[in-house]
Amino acid sequence: MTELTAPKSSVTAAQFADEIRNELKYTQGVTPEQAKPADVYVAAATAVRKHLMDSWMKTQQDMINGNTKAVGYLSAEFLMGKQLRNALLNSGLTEQFEAAVKELGFDPQQVTDAEYEPGLGNGGLGRLAACFIDSLASLGVPAFGYGIQYRYGIFRQEFDEEGRQIERPDYWLTNEDPWGHIDYERDQRVSFGGEVVEEDGKRVWKPSWSVRAIPVDYMVPGYESGRVNTLRLWQARSYDEFDLLTFNKSEYLDAVKPQVKAENISKILYPEDSTEVGKELRLEQQYFFASASIHDAIRVFYPNQDKPDLTTFPDKICFQLNDTHPVIGIPELMRILLDEYGYDWDTAWNITTKTFNYTCHTLLPEALEVWPVALISKLLPRHMEIINKINDQFMHELEEMTDDEAKVERMRIVTDGDTPSVRMAYLASYAGEHVNGVAELHSQLLKDVTLRDFSDLFPKKFTNVTNGVTPRRFMKLANPGLSDLITEGLGTDKWLEDLELLKNLEPLAQDDEFVKKFAQVKYDNKIKFADFAKREYGFDIDSSTMFDTMIKRLHEYKRQALKILEVIATYADIKSGKVKIEDVTPRTVIFGAKAAPGYYLAKMTIQLINNVAKVINNDPDVMGKLKVVFPWNYNIRVAQYLIPATELDEQISQAGKEASGTSNMKFALNGALTVGTLDGANVEIRERVGADNFFLFGMTVDEVEKMYADGYDPAKYYEADPRLKAAIDMVAKGTFSDGDEDTYAPLVSDWLTKDWFMTLADFTAYHDIQSEIETLYGDQLEWNRKAIINVANSGYFSSDRSIEDYLERVWMTGPLK
């Protein structure tokens, strides 16, 4: 760690060592001699938290006393990653920690490794929320992250003997969590069920059951901003702890029933990615955290007031709805204003519509949540009444605005028909003040296709905010070698707060000495990853091969199948002698992906990749030339090793399907070149880094649409490209299933008859671009020049910039004064 890059705290290493000793004694009850690395981790975390305490309290006071509108980021997922390194960096205690821990006789790496990574998110959406709260704090904007403290995060992935994915529960709270502060005094009651009755001319909800929502607070320290915000995650508990009477009658299970029902609400994160499960429990979760959070905001901003003036609520806080998951918060705020505070409908509506904004994160129709009216009526009968009234009001407004009856009908929030349902995206688009997509192309497609009617009638609502990633975690912490080189190249470390400064690296791409240093950093990162992969997974990886990486959820639209078919075709080329072994660029192809447990074809693709790896990696004919590795249980920690080590990044989704992608940004910032389609944020990355420094292939959105319209026949492509045919035939004939032709039959049949995401149609173009990639890779100086140009031009993809865009286009607020 260079002196240049670490912000300073006045604490010395010796003092910090004393603080750790103190925590070992008073919180862990062990001597330094008895302590294990995990004890030291908890002690250090507790000590860092204390350093942040004053700033945390001051930030809250300034927020409540000042008049800067705060942001409430409502999200069902926050995929935070490990906290200790980040907290040390942001509190300027990194060097002191390293020295103190060594003084106590421990290895800092072992201590930070002892932290268990909380997996409270599925993928990009949850990680984006974590980057955003980091940036909000770093920019000094008063903000809360509001979500759920799931007891079980995303499942822990294992592979069995046959290469199939096995899901294991991730009980992360069996380990000590020194970061979360549980605050029993600031609980909220959240109610469900029952009925709505008429009393004195008023609609009154008589719920049938309630749960206690208890906040667990996590500090969110800003980088060099002196501000510490709050991530408030709710835990569900029962009010009726235990029914002794029932217990005494020996009905043990019945005695804990209410408790079990209540606590189930915050028990598991749904392991779904993009597709929704129509589960009652999921709606309970959504209402649970939306309701608790809105009540909490009222408590925070109107302390000790029985009759607060909530017409000022939109000046105190605005809520960002992270996808449709918290949209039930809209009727909830209406209900609170109408029923709990006695406002009339129009006043309540006026407050509500100024309070919420909605971000859509998808283009897949199945990912736009729709809840059956029957389910909402059962769980939240008063909310269903309110939603119906919102729908009626909307229909009347629409009838005033347009004569197009078909359009009015299409836009219904509450559909009729066999299973009347509520479209949460429509509710959010009507009631939200702003609606945004997450990349230019995505926002355009929302306007042109997914939410077209809404954008036609309410064009001013719609805007774009391109996603971003935090350079603190994904550059400074993950890639200290590159960070130091950048600081050296720029002569300052200010780029960590103003990532556009990376632009000044561009001339250095022509400086051969700098390019060589850059190449050395990449090589060191490859060795680091290879060591990690050996240690954790037992893989043998040759660091002199090209590291070619595809990490993301396993989904058909992302097209891991395209990558693995190309690997198989290359394998076949070598085996058949069509390609001379000495002409092959040695590659290690690295996959990381979890599949939703119920997603049959995705899980089969995982199995195929694992078995292709098994065959290829054990075949002496390709040894040293082609290798496939698939580290299981891909998570933030693996990402932090792998992204800095990667040279070629695969972003090969079918055009028009990936809303944005965020790993593409992390890779470009860490000096990988991208092979990708014109999809999501790839488009903007390519615009910025330049077409010459990006490997583009495949159909465009328009071409894809045309092909759907004309009728797509994948078999035609299978017949036309002998390499593709050979690859698919190998899968079909059992090359990767010990001769068994049934194992992958469903996958093969899907490719040849459906192939909804047009993997086969893009295959030939994908192969051609891979040849270009190999040619360039042969000239390492040129390759690394292009990689540096990628880094230099990716500063735009900082989540700080995303947040600035939100402040200006959506939230209309700024840093605390």
Spatial separation of the C-alpha atoms in residues 82 and 250, rounded to whole Å = 44
Residue range at the interface with ligand GL7 (CB under 6 A); choices 124-132, 159-167, 406-414, 704-712 = 124-132
For residue 796, the minimal CB distance to ligand GL7 (Å) is 15
Among residues 122 and 293, whose Cβ is nearest to ligand GL7? 122
Q: Which stretch binds ligand GL7 (CB under 6 A): 290-298, 360-368, 730-738, 791-799?
A: 360-368
| Of the candidate residues 21, 361, 587, 666, the single one contacting ligand GL7 (CB under 6 A) | 361
Q: Where are the alpha helices (DSSP H) in 305-380?
A: 313-316, 329-335, 345-355, 373-379
Q: Residue 362, interface with ligand GL7 (CB under 6 A)?
A: yes
Size of the site for ligand GL7 (CB under 6 A): 18
Q: 470 vs 570, which CB is nearer to ligand GL7?
A: 470
By beta carbon distance, the residue nearest ligand GL7 is 124
- Enumerate residues 6+ apart whose C-beta is below 8 A from 711: none
Residue 787 one-letter amino acid: A
The catalytically annotated residue of 21, 325, 553, 555 is 553
Residue 123 as a binder of ligand GL7 (CB under 6 A): the answer is: yes
The CB-of-220 to ligand GL7 minimum distance in angstroms stands at 19
Tell me how far, at minimum, the Cβ of 362 lies from ligand GL7, in Å. 5
Among 92, 140, 271, 680, binds ligand GL7 (CB under 6 A): 680
Catalytic residue list contains 558: yes
DSSP assigned state of 721: -
CB of 128 to ligand GL7, least distance (A): 4
Rounded Cα distance between 665 and 680, Å, is 11
468 contacts ligand GL7 (rule: CB under 6 A): no
Structural contact between residues 106 and 191, judged by C-beta atoms closer than 8 angstroms: no
Tell me whether residue 324 or residue 487 sits nearer to ligand GL7 (CB atom). 324
Catalytic residue flag (residue 378): no
Across-strand partners of 358? 321, 435
Please confirm, yes or no, whether 767 is among the known catalytic residues.
no
Cα dihedral sign, 814-815-816-817 = negative
Stretch in the footprint of ligand GL7 (CB under 6 A) among 92-100, 121-129, 345-353, 604-612: 121-129
Q: Which of 232, 423, 472, 552 is catalytic?
A: 552
125 contributes a contact to ligand GL7 by CB under 6 A = yes
| Binding of ligand GL7 by 471 (CB under 6 A) | no
- Residue nearer to ligand GL7 on the CB measure, 28 or 75: 75
Binding map of ligand GL7 across residues 646-675, x = CB under 6 A, - = no contact: ------------xxxxx-------------
Question: Measured from the CB of residue 87, what is the shortest distance to ligand GL7 in angstroms?
Answer: 24
Residue 354: exposure state from Cβ atoms within 10 A (0-12, 13-18, ≥19): middle
Residue 293 touches ligand GL7, criterion: CB under 6 A: no
Question: In this chain, which of 438, 508, 669, 787 binds ligand GL7, going by CB under 6 A?
Answer: 438
Minimum Å gap between C-beta 125 and ligand GL7 is 4
Does residue 361 carry a catalytic annotation? yes
Question: Where do the H-state alpha helices sit in 373-458?
Answer: 373-379, 381-401, 405-410, 424-431, 440-445, 452-457
From the list 517, 526, 558, 559, the catalytic residue is: 558
d(CA 322, CA 659): 14
Give whole-number Cα distances, 691 to 683, 686, 694, 773, in Å: 10, 6, 5, 14
Residues 594-633: x where in contact with ligand GL7 by CB under 6 A, - otherwise, as a string: ----------------------------------------
666, 723, 785, 801: which one is catalytic?
Answer: 666
Q: 6-41: buried (b, 16+ CB within 10 Å) or exposed (e) per residue?
A: beebebebeebbebbbebbeebbeeebeebebbbbb
- For 217, residues 6+ apart whose C-beta sits below 8 A from its C-beta are 180, 181, 182, 183, 230, 231, 232, 233
In DSSP terms, 152 is beta-bridged to 268
- Among 127, 227, 361, 473, the active-site one is 361
Whole-number Å distance between alpha carbons of 226 and 700 = 45
Q: Is 376 in the site for ligand GL7 (CB under 6 A)?
A: no
- Beta-carbon contacts of 486 under 8 Å, excluding residues fewer than 6 positions away, are 475, 495, 502, 505, 791
Residue closer to ligand GL7 (CB basis): 273 or 649: 273
Annotated active-site residue 817? The verdict is: no
Closest C-alpha among 500, 547, 551, 495 to residue 522: 547
Among 24, 44, 268, 367, interactor with ligand GL7 by CB under 6 A: 367
Q: Is 565 helix (H, G, I), strand (E, B) or coil?
A: helix
Give the Cα separation of 808 and 403 in Å (integer).
Answer: 35
Q: Is 122 in the site for ligand GL7 (CB under 6 A)?
A: yes
Q: Which of 274, 487, 640, 693 binds ligand GL7 (CB under 6 A)?
A: 274
Question: Cα–Cα–Cα angle for 182, 188, 191, nearest 5°?
Answer: 135
In terms of Cα–Cα distance, which of 139, 140, 92 is closest to 499?
139
Among 37, 81, 118, 124, binds ligand GL7 (CB under 6 A): 124
Active site residues: 361, 552-553, 558, 662, 666
Residues that bind ligand GL7 (CB under 6 A): 122-125, 128, 273-274, 361-362, 367, 438, 467, 658-662, 680
